[in-house]
Amino acid sequence: MWWVWEDTSGPFHGAFMATGSFGQFVTVLPELDMVVAHKTLPSGDVSVGNYGRLLGLLTGKKPASADEMASWSHLPQKPSAPTK
């Protein structure tokens, strides 16, 4: 079943989403020309709230907290552009 986003402004304007079992989601964000497909294993069971947080981070609508940034510090960072 597809769900239509009710937010009428910003990155979620015109968005729609399909939900599946165990935290599987597909979200279409026309404002950003973006599609997010989130797939999990049957043991994953990602909540709608956790998925919403992920969408907030991806769209820039909700910046990462200091705790989130600290927990991700071990992940590789995007290389910076070379300087001339």
Which pair of structure tokens corresponds to residue 39?
Answer: 């797939």
**pTM beyond cutoff 0.95:** no
If one compares 83 and 39, the residue with the highest pLDDT of the two is: 39
Reduce the secondary structure of the chain to three states and give it as a string.
Answer: CEEECCCCCHHHCCCEEEECHHHCEEEEEHHHCEEEEECCCCCCCCCHHHHHHHHHHHHCCCCCCHHHHHHCCCCCCCCCCCCC
pLDDT in tens, 5-25: 776 678 888 999 998 888 888
What pLDDT does 38 receive?
87
Among 74, 65, 27, 67, residue whose Cα is nearest residue 46: 27
pLDDT in tens, 19-74: 888 888 899 999 889 999 988 777 777 777 888 888 888 888 777 777 767 766 66
